[in-house]
Amino acid sequence: MLLALNCGSSSIKFKLFQLSDLFVLISGSATRVDVGGQTPVLKVVVHHRDARHEECEREEEKEHTEYDAVFQRVIEHIETSVSKHFQSSSDGSRPRDVIKIVAHRIVHGGTETQPMAIWPGHEQSLTKLDKLGQFAPLHNHRAVEVVKSCLQHLPESRQVLLFDTLFHQTIQPHIYTYPLTAPESAPFIPLRKYGAHGLSYASVLSSMSSYLGKPASHINIIVAHLGSGASVCAIRDGKSLDTSMGLTPLDGLPGGTRSGSVDPALIFHHTKDAANDADFKGTNLSKGEMVLNKEGGFQALSGTSDFGVISSRATSSRVAGSEGPSQAERDAAKLTYDLFIDRILNYIGAYVFKILGGSPSGSPNPEGRSLDGIVFSGGIGEKGWQLRQDLGAYFAWLGCWVDNARNEAVGTEKDENGKEKVVYEISKEGSKVKLFVCMTDEETQCAITAKELKID
């Protein structure tokens, strides 16, 4: 079996696959992990090949709130489900020992150019990745701690580390370079754009290739991965041309608690001790970095990091005398909503020109490329029909319009095999540029990539 793990700062998503054909046996998540005052919720779903589902959701005891403790509970639940549904062992072996590969999503790989495989006894390889936590403070340290836990508690497994940054290795120097003099002291990694959400973009590219019936190398799309962490990527000829996140995931679009791009001098006026050291869940940062990562974004503007709440407040009218958000809360939500749309449009507009524009020699679109579509993915991109509709209103100049009925039907249909539909076209018939929603699946992309490595 193969276990895929996707660890965030306060969540753990997982899928257990049959290694032979990558059929999903168990999936689930742990949320509200190590969040002060909240009790983690663990959800486990068992999948059977005859399409039956058995689901278990429970709240963890308050003493099991720390990240490693919750992860151990995840492993215990997986082990219980494997033993009950998929394995009957009489030789005394533990169900967890049938997990041969654990595939980990790691946000920042720095200069790594290939996935990394680690066995027990080679933990020193993780030192560099842990240091990279300063460049992805909401994710890397947590993910590395889980790798260490797997080395200890799943010793029969091979740990495969898959980096989001690998997808963006095709970005050219004139795009990834920052116009600054060399730093005073040698940095841990070169200070340049690396990008993120690479496994999500790889998943979307694969799904769009299948849907359009074209090789990935012929696909030209703009993908907006919109969630509590949000970014946009221009994919030309199946490769990352540019992306909104930079040296760190902080650059680009605002998110749940990230500010996104701001004037670089702003933080020194906002936070007077911005250069002082701070600690964020085991990662050393400057105070300024922590403020921009944890005290910005949707939360800072509207008082909530939940974009569903923001969208509801921003797009509904207040009825006099009724219960609900105050006018001030609605105004704050509207500002947040409009700002998010504006920032997304900045990147989509620029990337249309980058994909379809001419060459430096001045010849217009010498390869005759067309834009296969603009694709929405991620939790907000997949669920936010109102946001997609409002963004689509700006695309008329492309000869592109949202079909409201199609848009509102996203997430309600099955494919010919009875599985959840992956790709939805939401543009009107006759649109010159098509709009899509694609259900991204980082865990499955991890599994596919790890299996292709053929690690013994």
Contact 45, 29 (CB under 8 A): no
11-38: burial string, b at 16+ Cβ within 10 Å, e else? bbbbbbbebeeeebbbbbbbbbbbeeee
Q: What does the pLDDT look like over 251-286, one tens digit per residue? A: 999 999 999 999 999 999 999 999 998 877 767 789
Q: CA 386 to CA 78: how far, in whole Å?
A: 37
Q: What does the pLDDT look like over 424-438, one tens digit per residue? A: 999 999 999 999 999
228 is in an annotated binding site: yes
28 is in an annotated binding site: no
381 is in an annotated binding site: no
In the predicted structure, residue 382 carries a pLDDT above the cut 70: yes
133 is in an annotated binding site: no
226 is in an annotated binding site: yes
Q: CA 292 to CA 137: how far, in whole Å?
A: 11
Worst-scoring range by mean pLDDT, 16-25, 131-140, 345-354, 376-385? 131-140
Helix (H) or strand (E) holding 5: strand 2-7
Worst-scoring range by mean pLDDT, 131-140, 217-226, 381-390? 131-140
Name the residue with higher pLDDT: 263 or 53: 263
Q: CA 353 to CA 434: how far, in whole Å?
A: 16
State the pLDDT at residue 147: 94
Instruction: Give me the amino acid identity at 3.
Output: L
> Mean pLDDT, to the nearest integer, of 172-189?
93
Q: Which backbone phi and psi does 279 adopt, to 5 degrees? A: -125, 130
Q: Mapping DSSP to helix (H, G, I), strand (E, B) and coil, where does residue 147 land?
A: helix
Name the residue with higher pLDDT: 59 or 207: 207
State the pLDDT at residue 364: 61
- Tell me the C-alpha to C-alpha distance, in Å, between residue 16 and each of 25, 101, 130, 183: 6, 10, 25, 44
State the pLDDT at residue 6: 95
Question: DSSP class of residue 424?
Answer: E
346 is in an annotated binding site: no
Q: Which residues contact 290 (CB under 8 A, 6 or more apart)?
A: 137, 278, 280
Annotate 160-187 with DSSP letters as a single string.
EEEEGGGGGGGS-HHHH----PPPSS--
State the pLDDT at residue 320: 57
State the pLDDT at residue 130: 84
Q: What does the pLDDT look like over 303-351, one tens digit per residue? A: 999 999 999 999 887 655 567 899 999 999 999 999 999 999 999 999 9
Q: CA 206 to CA 65: how far, in whole Å?
A: 36
State the pLDDT at residue 61: 63
Annotate 295-360 with DSSP letters as a single string.
S-HHHHHHS-S-HHHHHHHHHSPPPTT--S--HHHHHHHHHHHHHHHHHHHHHHHHHHHHHHS--T
406 is in an annotated binding site: no
- Tell me the C-alpha to C-alpha distance, in Å, between residue 346 and each of 11, 291, 343, 389, 431: 30, 24, 5, 17, 21
What angle, rounded to 10 degrees, do the helices at 198-212 and 442-452 form?
Answer: 90
Q: Is the pTM of this model over 0.85?
A: yes
Output the average pLDDT for the chain: 90
State the pLDDT at residue 361: 56
State the pLDDT at residue 290: 92
Backbone angle region of 260, left / alpha / beta, with phi > 0 → left and psi within -120 to 50 → alpha: left
Name the residue with higher pLDDT: 173 or 70: 173
Q: Give 237-294 as a 3 state SS string.
A: CCEEEEECCCCCCCCCCCCCCCCCCCCCCHHHHHCCCCCCEEEECCEEEEHHHHHHHH
6 is in an annotated binding site: yes
Structure tokens at 119: 């066995």
105 is in an annotated binding site: yes
Contact 95, 79 (CB under 8 A): yes
Worst-scoring range by mean pLDDT, 9-23, 48-62, 169-183? 48-62
The residues annotated with a catalytic role in the active site are: 164
Q: CA 307 to CA 302: how far, in whole Å?
A: 10
- Kindly list the structural domains of the chain, giving each domain's residue range(s) and its CATH number in brackets, ordered by start: 2-169 (3.30.420.40)
Q: What does the pLDDT look like over 217-258, one tens digit per residue? A: 999 999 999 999 999 999 999 999 999 999 999 999 999 999
Q: How confident is the model at residue 168 (pLDDT cuts 50, 70, 90)?
A: very high
> Mean pLDDT, to the nearest integer, of 386-408?
96
